[in-house]
Structure 1
Amino acid sequence: MTHARGDATGPTSHDLPGTEVPEGALEPAEQRAGDVRPGPEEVTPVRPAPTRVGTSPSAGRGKARPTRISGTWVAVIAGLLVLTILLVFILQNLDPATVHFFGAEGSLPLAIAMLFSALGGAALVALIGGARILQLRKQARSPRRR
């Protein structure tokens, strides 16, 4: 039996005729002795991971970078503030207003009418922005002609 380092302790399957193993190949685990630590010639030193240009190893220790979850919490808090302000606006503007739209006529609180108009404008902006994003993605995927 032979250790991974090449210590000869007895015959192995490599010694049988017709079972040549390429130079440097390891034996199966069941044919090796209990000591399978690499020899000094098999140990390679571990190098530290490369750092970004212009940064030092201690640069990341001072201030923590913001994460996606922290960004989400900031957005949730900002959304709650906007909703609170919107609720106060609605509660202070409950006077009825008559709305005419494509021949239809109705009466609803002024703040609700303004909220609907703002939501309609936001939807229009989102549709136009989404169409532009799709256009840019399609352009980026297509092969460039020169």
Structure 2
Amino acid sequence: MSIRLRPTLNAPSDPPTAVPPLSPAEPLATSLGSRVPRTRTGAAWLGICVAAVLFVVLIVFMLENTSRVQVSFVGMHGNLPLAMALLVAAVGSAILTMVIGAARITQLRRLSRRQRR
């Protein structure tokens, strides 16, 4: 019978190797390995960049769709720009999706708690 241990963050799986001293011309990434660790800050920065690009696309979309359309919803009637009507519909569907997702997450958490007991 053999026991297999899982590596932890404090105990490296490989024995430590000597890191050669850095020369000024040598970049840090090539001396320590070609992978740069991923961090939460890096992920947040990427998310902000993607959001900024999406906002630019949204602004261009709204500027190109300024013609007014007639909208009827649950007995209400009105005129508003096409881009605004589509934006309201998209935000409404996103909120509906989040409510349904939150209900499903709550349902799964309750089920998980019941199975643990």
- Per the alignment, do residues 50 and 105 of structure 1 end up closer, same or farther by CA in structure 2, a change over 3 Å counting? same
- Does 1:89 find its partner at 2:89? no
- Does 1:50 find its partner at 2:14? no
Q: 2:46 aligns with which of 57, 74, 84?
A: 74
Q: For 1:133 and 1:96, how far apart are their aligned partners in 2?
A: 40
- Per the alignment, do residues 112 and 51 of structure 1 end up closer, same or farther by CA in structure 2, a change over 3 Å counting? same
Name which one, 1 or 2, has greater alpha-carbon Rg.
1
Q: For 1:110 and 1:87, how far apart are their aligned partners in 2?
A: 13
Q: How does 1:10-25 map to 2 (within 5 A)?
A: none
Higher helix share: 2
Q: Where does the alignment leave 5 or more consecutive residues of structure 1 unmatched?
A: 1-48
Q: For 1:138 and 1:89, how far apart are their aligned partners in 2?
A: 42
- TM-score of the superposed pair, with normalisation by structure 1: 0.58
* C-alpha displacement of 1:142: 1.8
Q: For 2:115 and 2:85, how far apart are their aligned partners in 1?
A: 48
Q: For 1:75 and 1:51, how far apart are their aligned partners in 2?
A: 31
- Letter of the 1:111 counterpart: A
- TM-score of the superposed pair, with normalisation by structure 2: 0.72
Task: Report the number of matched residues.
Answer: 93
Q: 1:111 aligns with which of 73, 83, 103?
A: 83
Q: Secondary structure at the match of 2:79?
A: strand
The CA deviation string for residues 63-86 of structure 1, in whole angstroms up to 9 with x for no partner, is: 221100110010001001001000
Match of 2:101 in 1: 129
- Per the alignment, do residues 88 and 143 of structure 1 end up closer, same or farther by CA in structure 2, a change over 3 Å counting? same
Q: Where does the alignment leave 5 or more consecutive residues of structure 2 unmatched?
A: 1-9, 18-31
Q: Secondary structure at the match of 2:38?
A: coil
Match of 1:41 in 2: none
The CA deviation string for residues 42-100 of structure 1, in whole angstroms up to 9 with x for no partner, is: xxxxxxx5223xx5646xx3122110011001000100100100000000100001100
Q: For 1:56 and 1:120, how far apart are their aligned partners in 2?
A: 55
